[in-house]
């Protein structure tokens, strides 16, 4: 996929304007990530615009987490299973140590869409994720179910995923549902919250990267 990004300045305020142009200069996609194009998510009757970004194709595995941190706190052991029992601070530290960050909850929801639509059905959950009805009450190695249209795996179930967003009632937002939840919890819009210091054997994460590209001759000052 080929994309080009343009920045513009409006008055004294610096505004980032991202325009994807097919056939323009090619930007490399970070290894193990996919491009999530610009789009909108709806929340409380409002449309929230999400700029394009990169997102990890898979939930962070125990193998990759241990390689970076030297630790594997997971309850359900398995090198290719998602790492869990990691609190928000540990997840964010891991992402930062790899040059990435946690996605916002709106980025996460955008990535969970079926292109530009939010479609939900039990058949879709069975095909694309691990939940209470098929998980045998445990996590499973990442990437075993069908990928979504953006090329992401396990956006439905397996483990809830930390996001960088604060919940309006306190704590950090988690998205995606897990192996212990019903199919209704697999809806892309479903969100739960937790204080960031807690660890659970049904919560993991994946990382994201902003799509920033400084044009030659552009001066931020």
Tens digit of each residue's pLDDT (9 = 90 or more) over 61-80: 999 999 999 999 999 999 99
Confidence band of 27 (pLDDT split at 50, 70, 90): low
Q: Which of 165, 168, 177 is nearest to 203 (CA)?
A: 177
> How far, in Å, CA of 195 to CA of 210, rounded?
25
Q: Note whether residue 99 is domain-resident.
A: yes
Q: Note whether residue 116 is domain-resident.
A: yes
Rounded to 5 degrees, what angle do the CA atoms 84, 202, 55 make? 65
**Domain extent for 89:** 56-210
Give SS3 for 92: helix
pLDDT tens sequence across 107-140: 999 999 865 545 555 667 888 899 999 999 999 9
Confidence band of 184 (pLDDT split at 50, 70, 90): confident
Q: Note whether residue 86 is domain-resident.
A: yes
pLDDT tens sequence across 156-180: 999 999 999 999 999 999 999 999 9
Phi, psi of 96 (to 5 degrees): -65, -35
Q: Read off the CATH number of the domain in which 71 is found.
A: 3.90.1580.10
Assess whether pLDDT exceeds 50 at residue 4. Answer: no
> How far, in Å, CA of 151 to CA of 153, rounded?
7
Q: Note whether residue 95 is domain-resident.
A: yes
Q: Note whether residue 38 is domain-resident.
A: no
The model's pTM: 0.83
Q: Note whether residue 10 is domain-resident.
A: no
What b-and-e string marks burial along 104-141, b requiring 16 or more CB atoms within 10 Å of the CB? bbbbbbbbbbeeeeeebeeebbbebbbbbeebeeebbb
Amino acid 124: pLDDT? 74
Phi, psi of 120 (to 5 degrees): -135, 135
Split into its structural domains, the chain has a count of 1
Q: Note whether residue 48 is domain-resident.
A: no
Taking residue 204's Cβ as centre, other Cβ atoms within 10 Å add up to: 30
Chain centroid offset of residue 176 CA:
9
Assess whether pLDDT exceeds 60 at residue 22. Answer: no
Q: Note whether residue 217 is domain-resident.
A: no
DSSP label of 119: -
Amino acid 5: pLDDT? 39
Taking residue 12's Cβ as centre, other Cβ atoms within 10 Å add up to: 5
């Amino acid at each position: 996929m080929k994309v080009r990004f343009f920045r513009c300045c409006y008055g004294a305020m610096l505004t980032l304007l991202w325009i994807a142009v097919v056939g323009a200069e090619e930007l490399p996609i970070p290894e193990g990530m996919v491009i999530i194009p610009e789009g909108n998510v709806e929340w409380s009757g409002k449309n929230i615009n999400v700029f394009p970004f990169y997102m990890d194709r898979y939930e962070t595995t125990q193998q990759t987490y241990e390689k970076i941190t030297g630790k594997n706190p997971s309850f359900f052991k398995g090198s290719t299973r998602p790492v869990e029992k990691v609190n928000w601070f540990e997840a964010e530290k891991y992402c930062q140590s790899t040059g990435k960050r946690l996605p916002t909850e709106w980025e996460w929801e955008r990535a969970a869409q079926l292109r530009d639509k939010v479609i939900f059905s039990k058949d879709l959950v069975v095909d694309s994720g691990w939940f209470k009805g098929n998980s045998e009450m445990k996590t499973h190695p990442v990437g075993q179910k069908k990928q979504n249209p953006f090329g992401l795996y396990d956006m439905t179930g397996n483990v809830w995923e930390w996001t960088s967003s604060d919940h309006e009632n306190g704590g950090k937002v988690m998205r995606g549902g897990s192996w212990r939840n019903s199919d209704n919890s697999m809806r892309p819009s479903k969100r739960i919250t937790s204080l960031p210091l807690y660890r659970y054997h049904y919560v993991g994460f994946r990382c994201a990267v902003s799509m920033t590209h400084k044009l030659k001759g552009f001066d931020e000052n």
